[in-house]
Amino acid sequence: MSTPTPPIATIASLSHHEGRTVTLRGWLYNLRASGKLLFPIFRDGTGTIQGIVPKAAVPEEVFETLKNLTLESSVIVTGKVRADSRAPSGYELDVEGVEVIQRVPDETPFPISLKEHGVDFLMEHRHLWLRTPRQSAILRVRATIMRAAAEYFDTNGFIRTDPPILTPNACEGTSELFEMDYFDDDKAYLTQSGQLYIEATALALGKVYSFGPTFRAEKSKTRRHLTEFWMIEPEVAYAGLDDIMDLAEAFITHIVTRVLEHHRADLKVIGRDITKLEAIIAPPSSLPATPIVAPLSSFTTILPSALSSFAESGAPAGDLDSPGAPRPASGTWERSATESDGGTTEPGAPSSPAHLRAKVGGTTTKSRFPRLSYDEAHAMLEKAYAEGKIENPHKYGDDFGSPDETYISSQFDLPVMVHRYPAAIKAFYMQPDPTDPSKALCVDVLAPEGYGEIIGGSQRVDSYDLLKSRIEEHNLPLAAFQWYLDLRKYGSVPHAGFGMGIERVVAWLCGLDHVRETIPFARTLNRIYP
Amino acid sequence: MSTPTPPIATIASLSHHEGRTVTLRGWLYNLRASGKLLFPIFRDGTGTIQGIVPKAAVPEEVFETLKNLTLESSVIVTGKVRADSRAPSGYELDVEGVEVIQRVPDETPFPISLKEHGVDFLMEHRHLWLRTPRQSAILRVRATIMRAAAEYFDTNGFIRTDPPILTPNACEGTSELFEMDYFDDDKAYLTQSGQLYIEATALALGKVYSFGPTFRAEKSKTRRHLTEFWMIEPEVAYAGLDDIMDLAEAFITHIVTRVLEHHRADLKVIGRDITKLEAIIAPPSSLPATPIVAPLSSFTTILPSALSSFAESGAPAGDLDSPGAPRPASGTWERSATESDGGTTEPGAPSSPAHLRAKVGGTTTKSRFPRLSYDEAHAMLEKAYAEGKIENPHKYGDDFGSPDETYISSQFDLPVMVHRYPAAIKAFYMQPDPTDPSKALCVDVLAPEGYGEIIGGSQRVDSYDLLKSRIEEHNLPLAAFQWYLDLRKYGSVPHAGFGMGIERVVAWLCGLDHVRETIPFARTLNRIYP
């Protein structure tokens, strides 16, 4: 501390320091020795970099300190940044000095070595496993998925409203809930979805979303299930099924775009084939030369007049649709003039008159994701069974099983929207299709490559009498749902929304076999530690 | 549906439609009649607007429909937008047509009238109370506080990592926890803080934050307590107490700046005196002519070279400090070259050598918020008591009571940081002050105007042996904390962080008497419905 230390840098920012000596603060990730040369690899949370330590070029104590250093010891390293085209990051560090902050004792080495470990061992050491490059990369991608998801709604006129986690009743029946005592008299249950509550805030604020943890006490042990997982749920007043299908498409496209913008290196570490993701953001034939996410404006200098072509047309808003890429979230805090403006939607949508419904996102997309009715999807499965392409027949009226979903999604490069399932297998709050009341105005979005359902949504019942009878049919306690019924008594409007499970999307975009790697500390049937 | 409907607009966007006929979709908020003139006020979630309906100017059925319409009935209204300087929003609507979507029945009117209601009644009807202008305005401000809080960390190199909600043990002892059965054998507890878990992710990723609900099963019934509330918590590796005090100051400044940028109209509806908030973002004497939040760059066109003056200096990073306003979150997704770079901090910081510690935010601020040691704050209270300015003496060694905090904060226009409390009254994981080990390297940030503690933070114990003995002294189960101890065994580093309670900040910025209005559906000792 007697001599001034070189400026502190992060590994991710080393390109700004080429040719200069910097201080890095991090950990020893790996160490290779080759005679009088050491190749320590350092990590600092932003990335990894290889150091070069020739015995002849550094003080004896630096060489000896590093030569014997244990993995994951914390170190502050000084060295000169040198471009090297062979290095994965493009840079190497000519080490000049090292200070060990805490040396991992030789007798208790870092438990996760570079060899294979069993899953139980890794999960038991999850707090340390997180430090390995693949797990860190997954967490960085997860953070971007969460940020992009919130950004999409924030920049398209949605207000975030947080529903309660502790609820007095279940969203979809009392099947599999975590229950606890709530002070003296009451029971409380952990929420399965914020939907019912944000229906109330949507009728107050127009377009809203929630973003928080949800819980299912299911005793299922599959690679797709966690007992605690994160959901983001938009809900829109004056909107119908088609609106939220448009919204879901633009929303997913935005998230994939952001992940590809920021995480190509991370996805490479994870081993993800990104060509399948590139297909999501634009058809290969029409990939634009410039990034698909172009700024609408700079951060604070947006002028309403710059958007006049969107906003001030006297023509019906439906004319604002332009072919091509969806309009992404703009990344600006300014509301765009059109963000909350609606428009007429596709002709023929039977769910409600077009002028009742919103253009809910900032999207001006033409639909690109395939949309199949339940009946069409069933017919596809019947044909596949007849041709021996799936093992078991799909029974009309049943939900799709995992192999069914995998087959359907494998027929397309893009996420598939399956809509209008039989009402009998769907939740009580779903609006019946007026053209066939045995069907619900609902949609499931299936991710490609067999990753299954990532979004489930619906238009909600807006009739007081119908909702009341549905609650009674499902044997739900009417008193607990009185407030929910009130929403149909005082200014009911058509409204719709969906929920997207974050962990399923992380699994899909990272190409993971199991959701346990998608969240820092997974909670499953058999695990609540660490 | 036979004639084309005018373009759909939102009330917030009417300035873009002046002189044109538009369609609004919303609800009847209020209605005044004056002979042959009706003045309906409509709301659509984005704002309210007054309509003008002269009997002579509209079809008979339009006049009659509106004249008898019940409050909160849902309506689609067409009309021409006219500028009117007397109107609160600057516009009025010359109504041309109206379609009632659902009429609130005369026999069951909307229960919340414009007269006064008791708090219990309003909380029992929270799902409807949310629709009133003041409550809607509070929710919009809350959404911006949450967005700005996440934005600050997202744009300053922090990675969001979500700690578990279901935990096997308590963060600060088992005092007041919600407990539940976790499948066959286990108990689970709802988290009180994500801190312990994000200490693990900080050692993996460098700078992290968590943002989620937290729970306290306290049987206290005060205007500051909820059983379920939201916390945002940053945690930084290679950082000390001074770093997180700098971080907290820049973070709070950013949030207040965003709220004032976007919610002057909402704060007016709420009745908030904003002059006290304006003092937070800059001293009155140095308010810049241009907005304090200037864009660093446009959204995607940022060039690293544009930041060269920050990044490529060969001088110690400490020299990058520039006097004046804190550097705000830039609103861009690009990482700035300096975002994760550290620097030397103020001389004399005793907690750890300067080069061990980070400049953790994007801030280049000089400290503006007053910083008082616990001893200094105690002396201030002693003097106040001697002068008869507070009722009860403060006993040295005790925590500050609510009146103490109110007195301390009333001495300043800015949030006050009180640091280095007696270790005996603080949590087991706090690092002792090396210059006086009876004190903890911790800080509480007190909001002005008596709003009390909004942030609590500390540097964490980084010695394995000390942490182990603290856990034992506090009679905490060692086995449950083994993973937490591991963080001191494998590459321990100085690290620090804090937690900010969202609802306290909403109460402060909106000037609310009670936290129950700060969240859509408050959970308190006596309330879990709706």
pTM of the model: 0.89
Confidence (pLDDT) at A138: 98
> What is the per-residue DSSP string for B316-378?
-GGGG--SSSPPPP-S-SSPPTTTT------TT--SS-GGGS---SS--PPP-S-EEEHHHHH
Contact flag A205-B136 (C-beta cutoff 8 Å): yes
For residue A440, with 0-12 CB atoms within 10 Å meaning exposed, 13-18 middle and 19 or more buried, which class applies?
Answer: buried
Contact flag B130-A200 (C-beta cutoff 8 Å): yes
Counts of helices then strands in chain A (DSSP H, E): 14, 19
- Which residues of chain A lie closer than 8 angstroms to B291, CB-CB? 300
Helix (H) or strand (E) holding B67: helix B60-67
- Which residues of chain A lie closer than 8 angstroms to B90, CB-CB? none
**DSSP character at residue B492:** -
Contact flag A520-B74 (C-beta cutoff 8 Å): no
**Are the C-beta atoms of A457 and A248 separated by less than 8 Å?**
yes
Task: Tell me the ipTM for this assembly.
Answer: 0.89
Confidence (pLDDT) at B119: 94
Taking each helix axis from N to C end, the angle separating A502-510 and A241-262, rounded to the nearest 10 degrees, works out to 50
Three-state DSSP at A259 gives: helix
User: Given CA atoms A50, A56, A61, A63 in this order, what sign does their dihedral have?
Assistant: positive
Query: Least CB-CB distance to B206: which of A9, A45, A207?
Result: A45
**Residue B423 CB contacts under 8 Å (≥ 6 apart), including other chains:** B430, B432, B437, B438, B439, B440
Measure the CA–CA gap between B316 and A512, rounded to whole angstroms: 42
Backbone angles phi, psi at A310, to 5 degrees: -80, -45
Measure the CA–CA gap between B74 and B477, rounded to whole angstroms: 57
> What average pLDDT values come out for chain A (530 residues) when binned by 10 residues?
77 96 98 95 96 97 97 98 91 97 97 89 98 97 98 98 89 73 88 97 98 92 90 98 98 98 96 95 52 29 26 29 39 49 39 57 68 98 97 97 95 97 97 98 97 97 98 90 97 98 98 96 94
Confidence (pLDDT) at A527: 92
Distance of CA A290 to CAs A252, A278, A279, A312, Å? 20, 14, 16, 28
Distance of CA B416 to CAs B281, B373, B387, B410, B512, Å? 14, 10, 22, 10, 20
**Are the C-beta atoms of A76 and A27 separated by less than 8 Å?**
no
Radius of gyration of chain B (CA): 27
> What is the per-residue DSSP string for A360-398?
-SS--PPP-S-EEEHHHHHHHHHHHHHTTSSSSPPPTTS
* Best residue of A132, A191, A205, A307 to probe chain B, by most B CBs closer than 10 Å: A205
Three-state DSSP at B516 gives: helix
For residue B35, with 0-12 CB atoms within 10 Å meaning exposed, 13-18 middle and 19 or more buried, which class applies?
Answer: exposed
End-to-end CA distance of chain B: 38
Distance of CA B54 to CAs B11, B36, B66, Å? 21, 6, 11
**Are the C-beta atoms of A100 and A70 separated by less than 8 Å?**
no
**Are the C-beta atoms of B356 and B493 separated by less than 8 Å?**
yes
Task: List beta partners, residue B204.
Answer: none
Sheet with B159-160: list strands edge to edge.
B159-160, B207-215, B228-237, B495-501, B452-459, B442-447, B416-419, B371-373
Token digits of residue B82: 């006219």
Contact flag A341-B13 (C-beta cutoff 8 Å): yes
Token digits of residue A346: 């596709």
Q: pLDDT (tens digit, 0 to 9) for every residue of chain B, 530 residues total?
A: 445 679 999 999 999 999 999 999 999 999 999 989 999 999 999 999 999 999 999 999 999 999 999 999 999 999 999 999 998 889 999 999 999 999 999 999 999 987 889 999 999 999 999 999 999 999 999 999 999 999 999 999 999 999 999 998 655 555 689 999 999 868 899 999 999 999 999 999 999 999 999 999 988 888 888 999 999 999 999 999 999 999 999 999 999 999 999 999 999 999 999 999 999 997 544 444 333 332 322 222 222 222 222 222 232 333 223 333 334 455 556 544 444 444 433 333 344 565 666 555 544 457 899 999 999 999 999 999 999 999 999 999 999 999 999 999 999 999 999 999 999 999 999 999 999 999 999 999 999 999 999 999 999 999 999 999 999 999 888 999 999 999 999 999 999 999 999 999 999 999 999 999 999 999 999 999 99
Confidence (pLDDT) at A113: 83
Residue in chain A lying closest to B132 (CA): A204
Radius of gyration of chain A (CA): 27
- Which residues of chain A lie closer than 8 angstroms to B46, CB-CB? 157, 205-206, 340
Measure the CA–CA gap between A221 and A394, rounded to whole angstroms: 23
Residue in chain B lying closest to A292 (CA): B300
**Are the C-beta atoms of A409 and A447 separated by less than 8 Å?**
yes
Query: Least CB-CB distance to B180: which of A135, A179, A344?
Result: A179
Token digits of residue B10: 């939102």
CA atoms within a 13 Å half-sphere pointing along the CA-CB vector of B345: 28
Query: Least CB-CB distance to A201: which of B295, B483, B520?
Result: B520
> What is the per-residue DSSP string for A127-182?
HHHTTSHHHHHHHHHHHHHHHHHHHHHHTTTPEE----SEESS-SS-STT--EEEE
Query: Least CB-CB distance to B483: which of A72, A127, A316?
Result: A127
Mean pLDDT for chain B overall: 86
Contact flag B299-A332 (C-beta cutoff 8 Å): yes
Contact flag A300-B314 (C-beta cutoff 8 Å): no
Q: How many CB pairs (< 8 A) connect A and B?
A: 409
**Are the C-beta atoms of B329 and B292 separated by less than 8 Å?**
no
| Residue B437, number of CB atoms within 10 A of its CB | 11
> Does residue B477 have a cis bond before it (omega within 30 degrees)?
no
**Are the C-beta atoms of A418 and A446 separated by less than 8 Å?**
yes
Three-state DSSP at B119 gives: helix
Determine if residue A421 is left, alpha or beta; phi over 0 gives left, psi from -120 to 50 gives alpha, anything else beta.
beta
Residue in chain B lying closest to A134 (CA): B204
Measure the CA–CA gap between A322 and A335, rounded to whole angstroms: 20
Q: Which residue has the tokens 């700035």?
A: B336
Confidence (pLDDT) at A291: 33
> Does residue A530 have a cis bond before it (omega within 30 degrees)?
yes
Residue in chain B lying closest to A494 (CA): B101
With vertex at residue A33, the alpha carbon angle to CA A32 and CA A34, rounded to the nearest 5 degrees, is 125
For residue A315, with 0-12 CB atoms within 10 Å meaning exposed, 13-18 middle and 19 or more buried, which class applies?
Answer: exposed
Measure the CA–CA gap between B6 and A121, rounded to whole angstroms: 63
**Are the C-beta atoms of B236 and B199 separated by less than 8 Å?**
no
Residue in chain A lying closest to B20 (CA): A314
Query: Least CB-CB distance to B110: which of A147, A483, A490?
Result: A490
Query: Least CB-CB distance to B150: which of A150, A163, A204?
Result: A150
Measure the CA–CA gap between A251 and A211, rounded to whole angstroms: 14
Three-state DSSP at A426 gives: coil
B354-389: pLDDT as tens digits: 566 655 554 445 789 999 999 999 999 999 999 999
Token digits of residue A397: 């009226």
Measure the CA–CA gap between A488 and A147, rounded to whole angstroms: 33
Token digits of residue A164: 């309660």
Distance of CA A55 to CAs A30, B291, B510, Å? 18, 55, 63
